[in-house]
Structure 1
Amino acid sequence: MASVNRFNHIGFEDFRRFAQDESMSNYERIGFPDSYRQGYEAAIHEDICRKLTNLRAADRKVVDIGPGCSDLPKMLISLCGSRSHSLTLIDSQEMLNLLDDAPWVEKVGAMYPRCRDWIAHNAGKVDVILCYSVLHYIFVDVGFFDFLDSSLSLLAPGGQMLIGDIPNVSKRKRFFASATGVRFHKDYMKTDEAPVVEFNTIEPDQIDDAVVMALIQRARSQGYDAYVLPQAPDLPLSNRREDILITRP
């Protein structure tokens, strides 16, 4: 079963262009066909809040890396306002312009983590970092470890980071090799043919188990706890995507 090929191999400059393209829906502007996000974002928000438990507290410093312009960051803005959190949104200025301003919201128009001065100023001060549906675009412009190390430097003691909605090609293969995955593929593609699955093959430019485990190991080696978590089953891509939760003890 093919991935969302329209949005493969795109990066920061592409999203800047998408933000200004009025022919695209807000879901398309963040790299999704409407069917993958429309009607699902409230459930996605709930899943995020279950994992980032610091959001339930009050007066915390929250950062959203690559929030985009759909309803999901708007839900986070509303939550932070109700909990007296300060919220920093880091994305292209063009994308940030599509989100409303609020007294508790700081907008940083930059390609993360190339906002080095902001990172240095906020090192060790952040209670919550969210980076959702972004990791697979990061490697187009910057290295995974540069992204991770910069993010870990921001976390305060007890701080949490969720790298969410990671399209792990290894998990995807395991799903489509299963009886459930075969039925899903046939129903979705309107075909009688099973999906072609090849294990033990390297797929260039794809995140696989090796990348996910390398991020986990690198975070742990720096003194952080790190876990691979499943997505809630009612999320649209839960059968082939997963999350990483990192906490600073």
Structure 2
Amino acid sequence: MHEIYTEFMLQKMNNIRMNKFQEDAKHLSSSLNVSGRFSFQKSAMKHVVVDIANKLSLRAEDSLLDIGCNCGDITIPLSFMCDSCTGVDGESAIERLKKRTQDLDNVSFIVGDFSELKIEEQYDCILIYSVLMYIDGYDNKRNFIKKACDLLKPGGRMLVGDVVNTSVKERYSNSEVGRKIDKEYKHQLTNLTQEDIIKSENNVTEPFDIMDDKKVCDLLLEIRNWGYESFLLPQSVELPFGYTRQDILIKRW
């Protein structure tokens, strides 16, 4: 009974958070805010697309599925690097993405919560970026990734990007480099305009459920037990949270 209740509550919380993202996508004027970044990280976001494309080994002939595509800050530039690109997200986010891609004939959309969708097509590349931290519970994260893995074509690649790892963050925070960078980061926060502060406080969504070294390593092993290859990759320090976040690369034979 306890397990059933826990599963029900986790799903309920996920639904509430999904609704919040949809409301953010509907009302916020800046796609950067919807994406959960601070305004001063805008320049760093430019490096994210290149980093993703390199890690996925994205090719001009590839089909790409972007799960949790949001308003398309990553989806749109990646669409110029591949043959076709499909974005998956809630209705409000997809509506904004549609408006931004009216002139792109290789971008398509799937509306809904990926964990509840039935997708038949398979893809050369799959991207799940800044999503895992908003899925409650290790089992739900694992099931989410397993479902995505099943959509990979033979030889396909998947990047589970921007994974928050508390163990990494703790080691970083306790280091001399970490303390120095953190001081600079806080200084940038103090230089925000009043408008930026209001936007940041209201719209930068904090991770709901994050993992540590053990959970990340457990997940890597589980993925391998499913028959895929999995690799833990560092992020470039040029990325918005590059010092403390990691990426998981998955390959299907």
Aligned counterpart, 1:213: 217
User: What amino acid maps onto 2:185 in structure 1?
Assistant: Y
Deviation at 1:138, TM superposition (A): 2.4
User: What amino acid maps onto 2:74 in structure 1?
Assistant: L
Superposed, which structure 2 residues align to 1:35-46 within 5 Å? 35-36=40-41, 38-46=42-50
Name which of 157, 162, 169 aligns with 1:160. 157
Aligned counterpart, 1:114: 116
Deviation at 1:49, TM superposition (A): 1.1
Q: 1: distance between equivalents of 2:249 and 2:67? A: 15
Q: 1: distance between equivalents of 2:145 and 2:114? A: 11
Deviation at 1:31, TM superposition (A): 1.9
% identity of equivalent residues:
32
Moved more, 166-175 or 68-77: 68-77
TM-score by length of 2: 0.79
Contact kept in structure 2, 1:27 and 1:70, CA below 8 Å: no
Q: Greater RCO between the two (CA within 8 Å, min separation 6)?
A: 2
CA RMSD of aligned residues (A): 2.1
Deviation at 1:57, TM superposition (A): 4.2
Query: Does residue 1:56 correspond to 2:59, yes or no?
Result: yes
Aligned counterpart, 1:93: 91
Name stretches of at least 5 consecutive residues in structure 2 with no aligned partner: 1-13, 188-207
Any idea what the Cα deviations from partners look like across 1:11-69, whole Å, max 9, x if unmatched?
Answer: 211110001113x5211112222223x1122211111111111x1241x2210001111
User: What amino acid maps onto 1:155 in structure 2?
Assistant: L
More helix by share: 2
Sort the Cα spacing of 1:233 and 1:188 in 2 relative to 1 into closer, same or farther, 3 A: closer
TM-score by length of 1: 0.80
Aligned to 1:113, what secondary structure does the other structure show?
A: helix
Name which of 130, 134, 141 aligns with 1:133. 130
Superposed, which structure 2 residues align to 1:142-153 within 5 Å? 143-153=140-150
Q: 1: distance between equivalents of 2:43 and 2:186? A: 21
Aligned counterpart, 2:32: 27
The number of residue pairs the alignment matches comes to: 215
Name stretches of at least 5 consecutive residues in structure 1 with no aligned partner: 1-8, 191-203
